[in-house]
Each structure stands twice: as C-alpha cells, then as structure tokens.
A and B are shown apart, each in its own frame.
Chain A
Amino acid sequence: MPIVTMTVNGRPVSADVDPRTLLVQFLRENLMLTGTHVGCDTSQCGACTVHLDGHAVKACTVLALQAEGGAVVTIEGLGAPGLLHPMQEAFREHHGLQCGFCTPGMIMAAIDIVNRHGNELAEHTVREELEGNICRCTGYHNIVRAITEGARAMAAPVLNRAAE
C-alpha cells in the first residue's frame, strides 16, 4: 500500500493507506479526527468540508493520496487552546447550530467564504455561497447571521489567532 504524507492541523502525518482511501476516511479513521463528518455520498451536504492548502474542499471527494504533500486544516485545527476562532465563537453566539452535525463543515466553509469575499458579507452572498452545505435543523437563519458576524469579527486583530 502506498504511503501518504501531509500536514494536518500543522502536524506532519504519514500512513500506509489503501489507494481508494478518501481524505475524510483518513482523517476520521487513521487520525481519529472525528470532527469532520460524513452526511452524504454525493458531495452535496458539505459536512466533510476541510481546508486543503488554504481552500475549502469536500473531504469525501478527495482521495487521501491527492492530498500528498498538502496542508490540511480540520475543525479541530481552528483556534488555539482556550481560544476559539472568531467563526466558531460566532456560531455559538448566534445559535448557528442545533444538532451540531453539519456544524464543522459549515464553519470550515464559512471561513473559506470570508477568505474569498472579505469581511463585509451581504446576506445573499452568504446564502448563495452556502449552496454546498446542507443543514436540516436551523433553517439557515442563524447560520447566515453567524457567518456575517463571524466575518466581521475575523477582521479584528486577535492575538494568538489559530493555525489559519
């Protein structure tokens, strides 16, 4: 079996994997980073969204081997000990989650939206950009608010900001 090497949340990792192993399986089963979830099998729901080399990807649609040499950040890699990433904080503050299952993917997608569109987000931008992330609990109302507010908070200088 081939060996795959990458950094995950800033730490180098390496493992023998079956070539058909998906990145999400590698994260969940090899590294036990179970914050990244699997909610569908058609790349629709976005529960598995992580960052690969600074961009949001659906980890159910990337082979672990495709991430060879890459830098992966998962929900567990956000923030610092005792310090939440502003987007995590915004989801909590604005009740942007209920069952929590889609939440890690939502937060990773949200940060990517801010990275691409900046800190002042119009509601319709957020709604359109969330096309690839499904939530069944919240009706999106509070997720949209959380992302809009989280985007603003990300503009504020914060000491000790996360791995990102």
Chain B
Amino acid sequence: MTVTRIGEAVRRKEDHRFITGKGQYTDDIFRPRQTHAYFLRSPHAHARIRRLDTAEAAAMPGVVGILTGKDLAEDKIGDLICGWMIHDIHGQPMKMGSHPALAKEKVRYVGDHVAVVIAERLDQARDAAEAIEVDYEVLPAVADLATATDATAALVHDEIAGNLAFEWHLGHKAMTDHAFERAHHVTRLDIVNNRLVPNPMEPRAAIGEYDSGNDSFTLWTTSQNPHVARLVLSAFVGIAPEHKLRVIAPDVGGGFGSKIFIYAEETVCAWASKRVGRPVKWTSDRSEAFLSDAHGRDHITTAELALDERGKITALRVKTRANMGAYLSTFASSIPTYLYATLLSGQYDIPAIHAAVEAVYTTTAPVDAYRGAGRPEATFVVERLAEAAAREIGMDPADFRKKNFIRKFPHQTPVIMTYDIGNYRASLDKAMEIADVKGFNRRRRQSAREGKLRGLGYSCYIEACGIAPSQAVGSLGAGVGLWESAEVRVNPTGNVEVLTGSHSHGQGHETTFAQLVSDRLGIPIEQVTVVHGDTDKVQFGMGTYGSRSGAVGMSAIVKALDKVEAKAKKIASHLLEAAEADIEFKDGKFSVAGTDRSIDFASVALNAYVAHKFPTSEIEPGLKEGAFYDPVNFTFPAGTHICELEIDPATGRTTICNWTAVDDFGVVINPMIVEGQVHGGIAQGVGQALLEGAAYDRDGQLVTGSFMDYAMPRADDLPSFKMGFTETKCPSNPLGIKGCGEAGAIAAPAAVMNAITDALGTEAVPMPATPQTVWKIARTRAAPRAAE
C-alpha cells in the first residue's frame, strides 16, 4: 500500500484483468435472449437501389427481423450528423449530404449499409442476407480524389454540385502572395498524405437492449466518448431522450480516433432492439472494419515555402484537397481545417501563411480523425518543406531549423494559434545528442561500403492538444463545448472513487488519474478507483481524443480535489478545534499550523459522513465534489524526432536503424505510460511512411481490405526507440500538462520521409515508401549521396 507521486513510473492498475483474460470488451458481453445483427452492405461504390426485396430472406431459419432505410424513416430516426459546421470562403455553410444509418435511395461506397438482418445466430443472419434481393442501378464511381470535382464526375450526392463539401481558407492571402513575389528562394513540394485505416485491434461492436418495462435503452458500444454518443443518438438521431438511453463503453481495445464517431451500426443496434423486442448484438469482423470504419488522412497538397537570402522563412502557402469520403462523418469537417491549417506554422516564426482547402466527396468510406487528425498532415507539410528547403539552399537541416525556430513566448502565429510556451532548440539539441548526429557521416560511409544507402531525417513537430477552450471552438464551428467533468467521491472509510468524463481505451487512466489522487490526498493508490465509460455513473463528459485526457480531464479532477480539500479542511477545523485558516493539509494529514495536533484524511472522511462533530447547518455532511474544467487555451506539445535508416538498393527494403524521440509534454505524470504512448504513435507514423496505404480501384472497390493486403507494422518492422524528455511547464492548466497521445504519429512520417529522401537523394518519394517504390527510385539514381 503506497502513496504514489506525480512523476513516478507506477505500474498500471488495470493490467491485472488484461493479462489474466478478464478484460470485458463489448463482444465479451452476452445478454440474455440476445440476437445477432448482420449488415447487408453495398457491393457497389455508387448505385441507386431500384428494388429491395426481403420477403424470402425474412422466412429463412432463425431470422427475427430484417430492417431497411424505409423502417428507419417510418420510426422517424434521423440521419447521422457531422458536428462541426464549417463556413466556406463565401460565408456559406458547408454542404452536408444526407447520411441515413440504412440507405434510402442510394448507396455511396462499398460497405454502405443497405439492410440489417437480425437472427438467432450470426450464421443464420448471414445466410439470410444472401437471400435479400437488391436491384442496383450501378452509377459511376467517384474514387479518384484528384478528379472528383471535374465536370465529368458523377455526383455523390445529387444535390451537391461538383462534389464539393466546402472550399475554405485560413491566413492572409495577399500578404503571403506578396512575400512569395519577393522571395529569394522558393521551395515547392507536391505531397500526397496517404489514406490510412485506423485498425484498433478490437473491432467495433455494439449491443442494443430495449427495456419495455421502463421504456429505456442500453447501448454497450466501443466508444471513446459514450456521453457524446448518447447526446447525438438522443438529440439528433432520435433513438430516445437522454434520460432513457444509457450508453456504456466498457473495456475498449484501442480507438485512435476511429471510435469517436457515431456510426450506422451502433445506431441501428440500439434502435432495432425495440423493433425486435430483444437485445441486438453486432461485432464487426476485420473485413467490415476496413470497409466501414472511418479512414484517416487522404490529402493532396501543393506546399511552398518562401525564404529570404539568409535562409529565413518569410511565408508558407498550401493548397490542399481533402477527401471526405461519401458522407461527412461526426467530426470530419474539422480535420482538414481547424486541426490542420492552424498548425502550419510548425515550430517556426513565419510572418505570413495562407492555406486553401477543398473538402471533396468521393464514393469511398467516410474520412475522419485518425491519431493526430490534421496535425500529422500539417507537420508533414512543414517538416518536409523545411528539410527540402535546407537541402536546396545548402544549409544543414538542423541549422536551418534553429535559424527559424520561435524563441519568444507567447507567440501569435498567423493561423489563429497562440503558442504559450516551448523550447524547441532544447529538444532538437538533446535529440541530436542522443541520436549521435555527429557520427552519422561515419555510419553513412560504412553503409556505403556495404552497398547500402543511409539517410537521416528530422521532424520538429508541434501539435495543438488539450482540445479545447469551448468558446474558441464554438466560434470556429464546433457543435459542442470541449470541457471535461470529474467527480471525486470520498467514501466514509477514506477510499476514493473518481468519476471522469474521459475514457480510457489503452491510455492507462485508471493508473495516472489514481496516481494524481494518491499524490494529492496522500492515500495509497490501491484506495483509489477510477470510474468511466458509463452514462449512468458519470453525469457527463466529452471523452478522449486530441490528447486531452491529461490536460483537460485531469485538470477537472484537480478542481474537484480542490473542493474536496477545502471542505475537508472545514471539517478538520472542527475536529481539531482550530481556526480553518490554521489548518494545513500535507501527506494525507490535516494539522494545525505550528502545533503537533493532526488528524488523517480517513478520519476526516469518516467524520464527514458521521456528522456528529460539526454544525450541519454550516457544513453539509458527506465528502463528494464535482467539477467542470474548461481549458483556457490549447496546449502545445512539441519536440524533435530523428530517424536514421538504411536502404538496400538491391531489394528496396528500408531498415530503421535508430529512432530518437525527444518530446516536451510539460509535466509528465507517469513516464512509463507516456513513453508507451510515444512508442505506439511512432509505430503508426512509421506505418504510414513505409507500409500502410488504403487503396480504392477505379470502380471504388477497396483493394486493401484485410491484414493480408494492408500492411500493419509488425514487430520486425520497427527498432527499439531512444527516448528523452525536455520540459516547459504548460502555463494554462493546474498540472502543467501538455498531452502525449498523438505526438509519435504526428512526428514520425516526416522523420522517416526526410531520412529516405536524404538516402535516395531525391525529394520525390511517395508514401508508403514500400520496398517496390524505393527499389524503383534507387534503380534510377546511381550512387546518390551515399558516397559523399
């Protein structure tokens, strides 16, 4: 039984159930009388449904019910929504295509939901789905992002001209163009940020259950934000009023953004459970996950950097076309806009920036937030430009960055953000030391002697986390506030339950949040339980994404703890018969200043509930406090990652030899967990750079639809990582935390591609840089920089 402190690598409290097979994920839940749902999905990228006949299928063995878009309409179930309104360059609201949970007239991507079959057993549901007759009028697919807005392209939504959801821009165009006209040197890159499939290892799942006795619903679902799911399903989709809908997100096996959204399947399970009068369970298989989970990234960008004669950046200009897929998913519109263009200043002092963004519909799966969400795309643009510019003007890439780093804080960028604090030089210097950059040329020569090409690449990333000040995001179009809530319940025997609106799906909140409480109240961590993921237990919360659970979620806990301490002090003053102002609280003890009189936290807790020794007319019995915390600014984690790799030109295989990550996350609560978050992020970023790419063919068929065709990073694709931290305390929240969940995924792709382009001696290397791609480029380039 130990009191744990902030900063200690406390082993995780939640691990015991996971390593013994006692985790409880949604698919591990079996409800009495449950039925199984199977979704009949569109085999076509784009088609009109002429006729849908379910009669024969409905008569098949085990079938409990078959529901279609017509039934949804009959029950007045609303469309799925996009919760972030973007106003376009003309001030007009973005064009949102109708997004029913089950298709009405048209299907718009392969995997779109045509009907749901509910049966006693899953195989029976699947068999019956085969027997549903659908007469499709196949329409031309719009699978290619580059040509999706051409006049000849078919319309994904008949009413949306040119397949354009919106055109949007940020920054000062005239100033930026002017700077480019006067530039001494302009670096220009054409960048494709490849489309990714998030692939948390636990596929999505849902169980809807309707209780006719109470006219209420329960939905177990794989959600990163169960309260937001309930709000959307109540207020917009219309499943049931909030107080009649309980959403439970039990153990969730990874999310990476893809489990933020309110999808068709979860919606249908909840709704259908009332229709069929029995619990309805659906678990995605991996093939369905590839087809129907929201994908990530998928940008085509032209990026330019203007420099003066001394190598100082004078302006940055980007044009980006972002793929939205067939429908605007829950937060899709915010990703290529406010989560992307606002970070285009990177770590650099850039006087003028302009970003022009087109958000385009295609007949592909919806695209939404995936780990980093807009910020990896921004970092990739900025850091590829920085590296290429340095090479073009013959300056060392590290020196180029040092010359252009922001040094004074707070710093107002030309793209909304006010960076509160940072020390970018410190992270770069430390990373260069750990990575032994000085010895790189020697290692490169050694590789060259072995016929290998060695490269080194930097990525000095920045991100905006702790999402986000409610008023600020409201003014930018967010449909919700992005505060967080917490409640600290002290039990009479002195142990504590912390209820949080954050949701852990791998982040280790049960440990870090308990660590905070243990540190603050001086009670053993074993006496703290963290409760999350159930709308019946936690009143409200905004969930976990955007690296916000530390900076926002824990700040809410701190506020609640402040209130607990304040009340406990009042009670202690009566117990110790001293003035409240003289009561000090430290290491779990309330004492009277300047005396040896004290009482421990547990005794105060007991007295709070017994309520014999203080006037309840002045102090209410009990010890339980809640708080809502709204951040005053984004937080700005930043750092430097350095990738050193070796290419075998004979095979095209890239081997990462050294990875160095030095991150400034502000105050670190649990370094073990934080490092783990960075490891995982790096792996996803390396995956994007070297392995992963979701590809649709001309007909809109997903050709990377399984782990056989979509290359997930495996253990032998990655090295062990060298880690370091620098620290500038975040000034905007009580703990000084910045957030760490996305950093690796944001930093890594640029570091890898800067190293590969260094090794190959050309900037024109697309992601993923698979062995085939690299081999082709290596062949055309006779002994590039390797021999230097």
A→B interface (CB under 8 Å): 18, 20, 28-29, 32-42, 44-45, 47, 74-76, 78-79, 84, 88, 91-93, 95, 97-104, 107, 123-124, 126-128, 130-131, 133-145
Contact = CB atoms under 8 A, between A and B. Distances in A.
A104 B707 contact: no
A104 B21 contact: yes
Contact of A95 (B21, B256, B673, B718): B673
Contacts of A139: 679-684, 713, 718, 721, 744
B287 A41 contact: yes
B286 A141 contact: no
A140 B718 CA distance: 8
Nearest to A104: B21
B673 A100 contact: no
A67 to B, nearest CB: 18
A130 B715 contact: yes
A135 to B, nearest CB: 7
Nearest to B251: A100
B641 to A, nearest CB: 13
B254 A99 contact: yes
Contact of A103 (B18, B684, B718): B18
Contacts of A138: 676, 679-680, 683
Interface stretch (B200-208, B344-352, B439-447, B484-492): B200-208
B236 interface: no
B482 interface: no
Contacts of A42: 286, 706-708
Contact of A44 (B508, B680, B681, B707): B707
A136 B283 CA distance: 19
Given A40-B706, A103-B19, A136 B200 contact: yes
Given A37-B202, A41-B285, A97-B15, A134 B707 contact: yes
Interface stretch (B23-31, B271-279, B595-603): B23-31
Contacts of A34: 21, 24-25, 27-28
B781 to A, nearest CB: 30
Nearest to A85: B19
Interface in B654-705: 672-673, 675-677, 679-684
Given A44-B708, A139-B680, A97 B28 contact: no
Main secondary structure of the interface of B (DSSP, over half): loop
A138 B506 CA distance: 9
B378 to A, nearest CB: 22
B199 interface: yes
A145 B202 CA distance: 23
Given A139-B721, A141-B679, A101 B672 contact: no
Q: Which 9 A-B pairs have the closest CB atoms?
A: A35-B21, A101-B253, A100-B18, A99-B506, A139-B683, A139-B679, A75-B21, A44-B707, A98-B506
Contacts of B15: 91-92, 97, 100
Contacts, number: 185
B201 A101 contact: yes
Contact of A127 (B18, B708, B715): B715
Contacts of A97: 15, 18-19
B12 A95 contact: yes
B716 A92 contact: no
B202 A99 contact: yes
B19 A91 contact: yes
Contacts of B202: 37, 39, 99, 101
30 contacts: A33-B21, A34-B21, A35-B20, A35-B22, A37-B25, A38-B283, A38-B285, A39-B201, A39-B203, A42-B286, A42-B708, A95-B676, A97-B19, A98-B254, A98-B677, A99-B251, A99-B254, A101-B253, A103-B18, A130-B716, A136-B254, A137-B506, A138-B683, A139-B681, A140-B713, A141-B679, A141-B720, A142-B679, A143-B715, A144-B715
Contacts of A91: 15, 19
Nearest to B707: A44
A137 B680 contact: yes
A131 B22 CA distance: 25
Contact of B712 (A74, A104, A127, A134): A134
A112 B564 CA distance: 50
B252 interface: yes
Given A79-B20, A139-B684, 4 more contacts: A39-B286, A98-B254, A99-B253, A136-B201
Contacts of A20: 123
B506 A100 contact: yes
B372 to A, nearest CB: 14
A141 B16 CA distance: 20
B738 interface: no
Contacts of B508: 98
B252 A99 contact: yes
A145 B719 CA distance: 12
Contacts of A35: 20-23
B14 interface: yes
Given A44-B707, A101-B202, A92 B23 contact: no
B645 to A, nearest CB: 16
Contacts of A136: 199-201, 254, 256, 680, 683-684, 712
B612 to A, nearest CB: 40
Chain B CB within 10 Å — which of A74, A95, A143 has the most?
A95
Contacts of A92: 11-12, 15-16, 19
A100 B23 contact: yes
Nearest to B712: A134
A83 B476 CA distance: 54
A137 B745 CA distance: 11
Contacts of B721: 139, 141
A159 B202 CA distance: 35
Contacts of B251: 99-100
Nearest to B198: A136
A143 B720 CA distance: 10
Contact of B707 (A37, A45, A140): A45
A88 B20 contact: yes
Nearest to B687: A136
Nearest to A107: B19
A36 B21 contact: yes
Contacts of A134: 201, 707, 712, 714
B307 to A, nearest CB: 35
B526 to A, nearest CB: 15
B21 A74 contact: yes
A114 B327 CA distance: 48
Contacts of A137: 201, 254, 506, 676, 680
B507 interface: yes
Contact of B716 (A18, A88, A98, A131): A131
B505 interface: yes
Nearest to A44: B707
A104 B12 CA distance: 16
Contacts of B507: 98
Interface in B208-254: 251-254
Given A91-B15, A93-B11, A98-B254, A135 B285 contact: no
Contacts of A41: 285-287, 706
A39 B30 CA distance: 18
B747 to A, nearest CB: 13
Given A40-B706, A42-B706, A131 B286 contact: no
B700 to A, nearest CB: 22
Nearest to A98: B506
Contacts of B24: 34
A37 B679 CA distance: 23
B721 to A, nearest CB: 6
Contacts of A44: 706-708, 712
Contacts of B14: 100
Contacts of A103: 18-19
B9 to A, nearest CB: 8
A140 B21 contact: no
Interface string B171-206: 000000000000000000000000000011111000
A127 B744 contact: no
B154 to A, nearest CB: 32
Contact of A140 (B283, B285, B683): B683
